[in-house]
Amino acid sequence: MTDLPTFTPASVAVTFVGAGPGAAAHLTLGAFRALQEADVVIHDRLVGEEVLALIPPHVRRIDVGKEGFGPSTTQGTINATLVAQAMTGARVVRLKGGDCGIFGRLDEEMDALEAAGLSFGILPGLTSAAVAAASIGQSLTKRGRNGALRIVTGHDMEGFAEQDWRGMARAGEVAAIYMGKKSSRFIQGRLMMHGADPATPVAIVENVSRPEQRIIAATLAALPEAVAQVDGPAVLLYGLEPRRARAALTELKEATA
């Protein structure tokens, strides 16, 4: 098995690289170096154009994009492509949006490489939740508010994903919800059924870190209607509101006091 703490891209058959949510500014130095040294880059649909532009022209690119509820390259095809390219002796980078290990199907691909006797290493990336929270001027944890953070998915292989709704519904809880657009009404219903305050803020960050990024301040009560405005990939930050929205609310309260 690969010695993950000490690997270098040159010492393994495949390097898994987290590309961050989109902007090149969020790519790590290690990830940049891996792209420069690669012979083949196998990348996801959500990898940002700024990051793809950093791949040298001579490097072969293979797009294996997946889209929830839409056209996708099957996971089996991705696994087979990864193994086939690595078996040629080429230096392969598997480039994934965000962080490889957060809803990135990393385990299936590592298992496929191990089954083929191929080595690998992992260069983590910034996950969308961290960058989205920074973009709204908030922290994901805060003393006196939440001592834990949930990172959950809106749907899984079985459909809409069940969570610890009772725990999430408690006051002060914060959760980053990935792939939550299609399941927003389901999420709203489950949380309110377990006692969540309808006025709980939810910040929706669409196209995190990209030029077309958009931030929508909503509440749990209005979540499905707010999400209906969103076309691109988005992270739902349950329990957080954009700092500017909080400031505006404070000013309004002071003006009407």
Tokens describing residue 197: 């305050």
Where do runs of H (alpha helix) occur along the chain?
Answer: 29-37, 49-52, 75-87, 106-115, 128-135, 165-168, 184-193, 223-227, 243-256
Q: Which residues are the active-site residues?
A: 44, 66
Q: How far apart are CA 187 and CA 196, in angstroms?
A: 11
| Residue 10 bridge partners (DSSP) | none
Q: How far apart are CA 32 and CA 17, in angstroms?
A: 9
Q: How far apart are CA 23 and CA 130, in angstroms?
A: 13
pTM score, whole prediction: 0.88
* pLDDT tens digit at each of 257 positions of the chain: 444 456 778 889 999 999 999 999 999 999 999 999 999 999 998 899 999 999 999 999 999 986 555 567 899 999 999 999 999 999 999 999 999 999 999 999 999 999 999 999 999 999 999 999 999 999 999 999 999 999 999 987 777 999 999 999 999 999 999 999 999 999 999 999 999 999 999 999 999 999 999 999 999 999 999 999 999 999 999 999 998 755 544 443 444 44
